[in-house]
Protein backbone atom coordinates (compact mmCIF):
# COMPACT_ATOMS: atom_id res chain seq x y z
CA UNK A 1 0.00 0.00 0.00
CA UNK A 2 1.37 3.35 -1.04
CA UNK A 3 0.67 6.58 0.82
CA UNK A 4 1.31 10.23 -0.05
CA UNK A 5 2.03 12.69 2.77
CA UNK A 6 1.64 16.39 1.98
CA UNK A 7 2.79 18.35 5.02
CA UNK A 8 5.08 21.40 5.12
CA UNK A 9 6.16 20.82 8.73
CA UNK A 10 9.26 18.74 8.01
CA UNK A 11 9.42 17.11 11.45
CA UNK A 12 5.78 16.12 11.37
CA UNK A 13 6.11 14.89 7.79
CA UNK A 14 9.03 12.68 8.79
CA UNK A 15 7.31 11.45 11.94
CA UNK A 16 4.27 10.33 9.93
CA UNK A 17 6.43 8.79 7.22
CA UNK A 18 8.54 6.83 9.72
CA UNK A 19 5.43 5.48 11.44
CA UNK A 20 3.83 4.44 8.15
CA UNK A 21 7.00 2.77 6.85
CA UNK A 22 7.28 0.94 10.15
CA UNK A 23 3.77 -0.42 9.51
CA UNK A 24 4.77 -1.74 6.10
CA UNK A 25 3.55 1.08 3.84
CA UNK A 26 5.49 2.73 1.03
CA UNK A 27 5.52 6.51 1.40
CA UNK A 28 6.03 9.48 -0.93
CA UNK A 29 6.43 12.89 0.67
CA UNK A 30 5.67 16.42 -0.48
CA UNK A 31 6.27 19.67 1.41
CA UNK A 32 4.06 22.14 -0.43
CA UNK A 33 0.69 22.16 -2.14
CA UNK A 34 1.97 22.31 -5.71
CA UNK A 35 4.32 19.36 -5.37
CA UNK A 36 1.67 17.42 -3.46
CA UNK A 37 -0.98 18.21 -6.05
CA UNK A 38 1.29 17.04 -8.86
CA UNK A 39 2.11 13.73 -7.17
CA UNK A 40 -1.52 12.99 -6.29
CA UNK A 41 -2.50 13.84 -9.84
CA UNK A 42 0.04 11.58 -11.51
CA UNK A 43 0.75 8.66 -9.15
CA UNK A 44 -1.70 6.04 -7.85
CA UNK A 45 -1.97 6.20 -4.04
CA UNK A 46 -3.97 3.98 -1.73
CA UNK A 47 -4.47 6.94 0.60
CA UNK A 48 -3.27 10.53 1.08
CA UNK A 49 -2.54 12.52 4.24
CA UNK A 50 -3.06 16.17 3.34
CA UNK A 51 -2.33 19.16 5.53
CA UNK A 52 -4.73 22.07 4.95
CA UNK A 53 -2.32 24.93 5.68
CA UNK A 54 0.31 24.57 2.93
CA UNK A 55 2.59 26.94 1.00
CA UNK A 56 2.18 27.41 -2.80
CA UNK A 57 -1.33 25.89 -2.90
CA UNK A 58 -3.56 25.37 0.14
CA UNK A 59 -4.82 21.88 0.96
CA UNK A 60 -8.47 22.62 0.16
CA UNK A 61 -7.54 23.79 -3.35
CA UNK A 62 -5.29 20.75 -3.84
CA UNK A 63 -8.17 18.48 -2.90
CA UNK A 64 -10.72 20.33 -5.04
CA UNK A 65 -8.43 20.00 -8.04
CA UNK A 66 -7.92 16.27 -7.49
CA UNK A 67 -11.63 15.62 -7.15
CA UNK A 68 -12.43 17.79 -10.19
CA UNK A 69 -9.97 15.58 -12.13
CA UNK A 70 -11.73 12.43 -10.86
CA UNK A 71 -8.90 11.43 -8.54
CA UNK A 72 -10.85 9.33 -6.04
CA UNK A 73 -8.19 8.03 -3.61
CA UNK A 74 -9.11 8.30 0.10
CA UNK A 75 -7.86 11.56 1.62
CA UNK A 76 -7.32 12.28 5.32
CA UNK A 77 -6.90 15.98 6.04
CA UNK A 78 -4.92 17.50 8.91
CA UNK A 79 -6.44 20.64 10.39
CA UNK A 80 -5.40 23.14 13.05
CA UNK A 81 -7.34 22.89 16.31
CA UNK A 82 -8.83 26.37 16.22
CA UNK A 83 -9.84 26.23 12.55
CA UNK A 84 -13.16 24.41 12.54
CA UNK A 85 -14.01 26.07 9.23
CA UNK A 86 -11.06 24.20 7.63
CA UNK A 87 -12.72 20.90 8.47
CA UNK A 88 -15.95 22.00 6.82
CA UNK A 89 -14.14 23.31 3.74
CA UNK A 90 -11.99 20.16 3.55
CA UNK A 91 -14.91 17.77 3.83
CA UNK A 92 -16.89 19.77 1.29
CA UNK A 93 -13.87 19.61 -1.02
CA UNK A 94 -13.94 15.81 -0.86
CA UNK A 95 -11.98 14.73 2.23
CA UNK A 96 -12.90 11.29 3.59
CA UNK A 97 -11.79 11.95 7.16
CA UNK A 98 -9.86 14.47 9.25
CA UNK A 99 -7.54 14.62 12.24
CA UNK A 100 -7.05 17.77 14.29
CA UNK A 101 -3.55 18.89 15.28
CA UNK A 102 -1.94 18.10 17.62
CA UNK A 103 -2.63 14.39 17.27
CA UNK A 104 -1.21 11.03 18.25
CA UNK A 105 0.39 9.29 15.26
CA UNK A 106 -1.50 6.12 16.23
CA UNK A 107 -4.78 7.89 15.50
CA UNK A 108 -3.62 8.83 12.00
CA UNK A 109 -2.46 5.24 11.40
CA UNK A 110 -5.83 3.85 12.53
CA UNK A 111 -7.76 6.25 10.32
CA UNK A 112 -5.56 5.48 7.31
CA UNK A 113 -6.08 1.73 7.84
CA UNK A 114 -9.83 2.29 8.01
CA UNK A 115 -9.86 4.44 4.85
CA UNK A 116 -7.89 1.85 2.88
CA UNK A 117 -10.10 -0.95 4.16
CA UNK A 118 -13.29 0.85 3.25
CA UNK A 119 -11.96 1.85 -0.18
CA UNK A 120 -11.37 -1.83 -0.95
CA UNK A 121 -14.71 -2.94 0.53
CA UNK A 122 -13.53 -4.60 3.75
CA UNK A 123 -15.25 -4.04 7.07
CA UNK A 124 -12.89 -5.78 9.49
CA UNK A 125 -9.28 -4.94 10.34
CA UNK A 126 -8.39 -8.60 9.85
CA UNK A 127 -8.53 -9.90 6.29
CA UNK A 128 -8.95 -13.62 5.75
CA UNK A 129 -8.27 -15.75 2.70
CA UNK A 130 -8.60 -19.45 3.53
CA UNK A 131 -5.80 -20.27 5.99
CA UNK A 132 -4.17 -16.83 5.60
CA UNK A 133 -4.95 -14.01 7.99
CA UNK A 134 -3.69 -10.47 7.59
CA UNK A 135 -3.85 -8.35 10.73
CA UNK A 136 -3.78 -4.80 9.34
CA UNK A 137 -3.46 -3.36 12.85
CA UNK A 138 -0.30 -5.24 13.75
CA UNK A 139 0.96 -5.46 10.14
CA UNK A 140 1.31 -9.21 10.57
CA UNK A 141 0.18 -12.21 8.59
CA UNK A 142 -0.30 -15.82 9.58
CA UNK A 143 -1.08 -19.16 7.95
CA UNK A 144 -3.12 -21.63 10.01
CA UNK A 145 -2.37 -19.50 13.07
CA UNK A 146 1.40 -19.52 12.58
CA UNK A 147 2.90 -16.04 12.12
CA UNK A 148 4.65 -15.63 8.78
CA UNK A 149 8.13 -14.22 8.47
CA UNK A 150 7.82 -11.86 5.53
CA UNK A 151 10.20 -9.30 4.05
CA UNK A 152 8.76 -5.81 3.62
CA UNK A 153 8.22 -6.45 -0.10
CA UNK A 154 6.46 -9.74 0.55
CA UNK A 155 4.25 -8.10 3.16
CA UNK A 156 3.28 -5.27 0.82
CA UNK A 157 2.51 -7.75 -1.93
CA UNK A 158 0.36 -9.91 0.33
CA UNK A 159 -1.39 -6.88 1.79
CA UNK A 160 -2.24 -5.46 -1.63
CA UNK A 161 -3.49 -8.80 -2.95
CA UNK A 162 -5.58 -9.42 0.16
CA UNK A 163 -7.15 -5.97 0.04
CA UNK A 164 -8.07 -6.78 -3.58
CA UNK A 165 -9.12 -10.41 -3.12
CA UNK A 166 -10.89 -12.04 -6.08
CA UNK A 167 -9.70 -9.22 -8.35
CA UNK A 168 -7.10 -9.60 -11.07
CA UNK A 169 -4.18 -7.33 -10.21
CA UNK A 170 -1.65 -6.55 -12.93
CA UNK A 171 2.10 -6.49 -12.37
CA UNK A 172 2.19 -2.78 -13.23
CA UNK A 173 -0.43 -2.09 -10.57
CA UNK A 174 1.56 -4.08 -8.01
CA UNK A 175 4.75 -2.19 -8.88
CA UNK A 176 2.94 1.13 -8.53
CA UNK A 177 1.58 0.26 -5.10
CA UNK A 178 4.66 -1.49 -3.69
CA UNK A 179 7.38 1.02 -4.47
CA UNK A 180 7.81 4.74 -3.87
CA UNK A 181 8.44 7.18 -6.71
CA UNK A 182 12.22 7.14 -6.31
CA UNK A 183 12.56 3.38 -6.49
CA UNK A 184 14.06 1.85 -9.62
CA UNK A 185 11.02 -0.18 -10.58
CA UNK A 186 11.23 -3.42 -12.44
CA UNK A 187 8.01 -5.37 -12.91
CA UNK A 188 10.00 -8.60 -13.43
CA UNK A 189 10.89 -8.63 -9.75
CA UNK A 190 7.17 -8.98 -8.95
CA UNK A 191 7.28 -12.52 -10.33
CA UNK A 192 10.11 -13.33 -7.94
CA UNK A 193 8.19 -11.94 -4.95
CA UNK A 194 5.04 -13.83 -5.95
CA UNK A 195 7.09 -17.04 -6.15
CA UNK A 196 8.50 -16.49 -2.65
CA UNK A 197 5.13 -15.59 -1.21
CA UNK A 198 3.53 -18.71 -2.73
CA UNK A 199 6.12 -20.84 -0.98
CA UNK A 200 5.18 -19.28 2.33
CA UNK A 201 1.38 -19.23 2.10
CA UNK A 202 0.57 -22.05 -0.32
CA UNK A 203 0.82 -22.05 -4.10
CA UNK A 204 -2.90 -22.38 -4.81
CA UNK A 205 -3.89 -19.14 -3.06
CA UNK A 206 -2.34 -16.87 -5.69
CA UNK A 207 -3.51 -17.61 -9.22
CA UNK A 208 -1.62 -16.47 -12.27
CA UNK A 209 -4.03 -15.03 -14.80
CA UNK A 210 -2.12 -15.36 -18.01
CA UNK A 211 -1.34 -12.07 -19.70
CA UNK A 212 -3.21 -10.09 -17.03
CA UNK A 213 -1.62 -10.59 -13.64
CA UNK A 214 -2.45 -12.30 -10.37
CA UNK A 215 -5.51 -13.01 -8.30
CA UNK A 216 -5.72 -14.04 -4.69
CA UNK A 217 -8.55 -16.53 -4.19
CA UNK A 218 -9.66 -18.44 -1.11
CA UNK A 219 -9.73 -22.23 -1.57
CA UNK A 220 -13.17 -23.61 -2.45
CA UNK A 221 -15.43 -23.76 0.59
CA UNK A 222 -13.25 -21.49 2.72
CA UNK A 223 -14.47 -18.17 4.07
CA UNK A 224 -13.22 -14.70 3.35
CA UNK A 225 -13.22 -11.61 5.50
CA UNK A 226 -16.22 -10.25 3.62
CA UNK A 227 -18.42 -12.96 5.10
CA UNK A 228 -17.13 -12.06 8.54
CA UNK A 229 -16.18 -15.65 9.34
CA UNK A 230 -13.21 -17.84 8.64
CA UNK A 231 -13.91 -21.07 6.78
CA1 LIG B 1 1.01 23.42 7.56
Q: Read off the CATH number of the domain in which 9 is found.
A: 3.40.50.2300
- Which CATH number does the domain housing residue 163 bear? 1.10.10.10
Instruction: Judge whether 84 lies within some domain.
Output: yes
Cα-to-centroid distance, 177 and ligand 1 (Å)? 26
Do 199 and 159 lie in a common domain? yes
Cα-to-centroid distance, 221 and ligand 1 (Å)? 50
Do 9 and 84 lie in a common domain? yes
Instruction: Judge whether 229 lies within some domain.
Output: no
Which structural domain, as residue segments, surrounds residue 91?
Answer: 2-119
Which of 90, 119, 148 is at the close of a domain?
119
Report pLDDT for 83. 84
Report pLDDT for 187. 73
Do 29 and 103 lie in a common domain? yes
Instruction: Judge whether 222 lies within some domain.
Output: no
Do 134 and 105 lie in a common domain? no
Report pLDDT for 52. 97
- Three-state SS string across the chain, please? CEEEEECCCHHHHHHHHHHHHHCCCEEEEECCHHHHHHHHHHCCCCEEEEECCCCCCCHHHHHHHHHHCCCCCCEEEEEECCCHHHHHHHHHCCCCEEEEECCCHHHHHHHHHHHHHHHCCCCCCEEEECCEEEECCCCEEEECCEECCCCHHHHHHHHHHHHCCCCEECHHHHHHHHCCCCCCCCCHHHHHHHHHHHHHHCHHHEEEECCCEEEECCCCCCCEHHHCCCC
Cα-to-centroid distance, 93 and ligand 1 (Å)? 18
Cα-to-centroid distance, 79 and ligand 1 (Å)? 8
- Count of domains observed in the chain: 2
Cα-to-centroid distance, 49 and ligand 1 (Å)? 12
Which of 119, 152, 169 is at the close of a domain?
119
Cα-to-centroid distance, 33 and ligand 1 (Å)? 10
Do 34 and 57 lie in a common domain? yes
Which of 100, 119, 138 is at the close of a domain?
119
pLDDT tens-place values along the chain, 231 residues long? 999 999 999 999 999 999 999 999 999 999 999 999 999 999 999 999 999 999 999 999 999 999 999 999 999 999 988 888 999 999 999 999 999 999 999 999 999 999 999 998 988 999 999 999 999 999 999 999 999 999 999 999 999 999 999 999 999 999 999 988 877 777 778 999 999 999 999 889 999 999 999 999 988 766 555 444 443
Do 31 and 114 lie in a common domain? yes
Instruction: Judge whether 135 lies within some domain.
Output: yes
Report pLDDT for 222. 63
Cα-to-centroid distance, 52 and ligand 1 (Å)? 6
Do 49 and 96 lie in a common domain? yes
Instruction: Judge whether 227 lies within some domain.
Output: no
Cα-to-centroid distance, 8 and ligand 1 (Å)? 5
Do 74 and 148 lie in a common domain? no
Cα-to-centroid distance, 219 and ligand 1 (Å)? 48
Report pLDDT for 224. 56
Instruction: Judge whether 67 lies within some domain.
Output: yes
Do 111 and 184 lie in a common domain? no
Cα-to-centroid distance, 55 and ligand 1 (Å)? 8
Cα-to-centroid distance, 10 and ligand 1 (Å)? 9
Do 111 and 134 lie in a common domain? no
Report pLDDT for 223. 55
Do 115 and 131 lie in a common domain? no
Instruction: Judge whether 152 lies within some domain.
Output: yes
Amino acid sequence: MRILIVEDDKDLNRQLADALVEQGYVVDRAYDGEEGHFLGDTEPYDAVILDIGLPEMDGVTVLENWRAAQRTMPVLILTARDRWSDKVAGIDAGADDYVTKPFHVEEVLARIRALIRRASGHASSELVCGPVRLDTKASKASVDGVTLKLTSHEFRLLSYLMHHMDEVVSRTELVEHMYDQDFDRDSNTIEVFVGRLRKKIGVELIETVRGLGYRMVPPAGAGTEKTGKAG
